[in-house]
Amino acid sequence: MLENRYMQVFVAVFKTRSFSKAAHQLYITQPTVSGHIKTLEDVLGVVLFDRTGKSVIPTKAAMVLFPFASQIVSLTTQAVKELSLFRDQQKGSIEIGGSTIPGQYILPRLMSRFKDTRPGIHIVIKIGDSADITAKVMTGEIELGVVGAFQEQRWLVGQECFRDELVFVTPKGHLLADRESVTLSEILKANAAFVIREMGSGTRRIMEHALKKAGLRRLEDLNIVAEMGSSEAVKQSVREGVGCSILSRRAVEEEIRSGSIASPRFSGVELTRNFYLIWHEKRPLSPLAKSLKEFIAASCEIR
C-alpha cells in the first residue's frame, strides 16, 4: 500500500538528492528515510534511487513517480489544512432548513451575524414547510432546522427559540377592514373569502387549531377560495383582494404599517406560537453545525 508518509519521504529525497537532508527536512532519522524508501521500492518493484556514488541519483522510475507523488503530498497537505479550518469553524459549508416564516424573516438576519464571525464559511438556507424541514433533519439531509410546528418523533429534539403572533388580515377596502376588532362568528356571518397556506404548513396548523378552539367545527366551514404554498403568495393575494387570511405578523408588518392591507384585532382567538430549533439527537453534528446550534440557542427569545 502506498502510504502518504512514504510519498512524502520520496519527494523530499528526490528534491534534495540526499537522504540526510531529507531526514533533516522531515525531522526524522536518516535510517527511517532509508527504510521508507526501501519499503516503497519493494512495494512498487522498482529501484527509485541510484546509491552507488556519493550523491543520490533518481532513476527513470523515480522520474515517472515524482509528479504523481508530488500531487499526492500536495493534496494531502491541502486536505489537512482544509479540515483544520473546518474543525475550527473557519471554513466549510452548512445547510440549515427553515419553515416559511423563520426561513424568510428570522434566519437571514441570524445567518448574517453568524457569518460575520466566520467570513470563510458558506451558508445555505433551505426553505420548506415544517413537515418538509423536519423530514430533512430526520433523514440527515440537513443538520439543523427552525420550524413553526414541532412534530414529536423519536430522536427529534426541539428547543423553543422564537415567538410569533398570527394576525387576521384583510384587503384594503374590505367590509371588515375598518373594524377595530372582529370575531369568528362575524367572519362566518360575512362569508368572508379566505386564502390559506397549504397542508403541512405550520401557519395553517396553528390557525386551524386556534379557530377550532374558538368554536369552528372544521376548517372547511370557512369560505376558502385558495390555498398557497408560501406566506408571500398569501400576502400578495390579500393585497390583490382575493380574500382575507391569517398570517405571521413578521410577514405583514410593512404592509400593515403602509396601509396596503388591514389587520383588525381577532377577538376571542389566541393566535400565538413558538418556533423551534430542531436537530436529530443521534446524529453527530459537524463542528460548524454544532457552533451554529449554540449561536442560535444563544440568540433565542425564549429562555
| Predicted local distance difference test score (pLDDT) of residue 121 | 83
> 4-87 belongs to which CATH class?
mainly alpha
This prediction's pTM: 0.65
Nearest to 130, CA basis, from 154, 108, 155, 153: 153
What distance in Å separates the CA atoms of residue 249 and residue 169, rounded to the nearest whole number? 10
pLDDT reported for residue 89: 61
C-alpha–C-alpha distance, residues 285 and 93, integer Å: 13
**Fold match flag (92-161+275-298 vs 165-273):** yes
pLDDT of residue 171: 96
Q: What is the largest CA-CA distance in the chain?
A: 105
Give the right CATH number for 165-273 from 3.40.50.20, 3.90.580.10, 3.40.190.10, 1.10.10.10: 3.40.190.10
pLDDT tens, per residue, the chain with 303 residues: 567 888 899 999 999 998 999 999 888 999 999 999 999 999 899 999 988 777 789 999 999 999 999 888 888 877 776 676 566 666 678 889 999 899 999 999 999 999 888 888 889 999 998 889 999 999 988 999 999 888 889 999 999 999 999 999 999 999 999 999 999 999 999 999 999 998 878 788 889 999 999 999 999 999 999 999 888 999 999 999 999 999 999 999 999 999 999 999 999 998 888 999 999 998 888 888 888 999 999 998 876
Domain boundaries, the chain: 4-87, 92-161+275-298, 165-273
Contact (CB, 8 A) for 200 and 129: yes
Euclidean distance between CA atoms 135 and 213, whole angstroms: 28
- The per-residue pLDDT for 85 is 59
pLDDT of residue 82: 67
- H/E segment holding residue 39: helix 30-44
Give the CATH H-level superfamily of domain 92-161+275-298: Periplasmic binding protein-like II (3.40.190.10)
Pairing, β 272-280 against β 156-171: antiparallel
Task: Give the per-residue pLDDT at 86.
Answer: 64
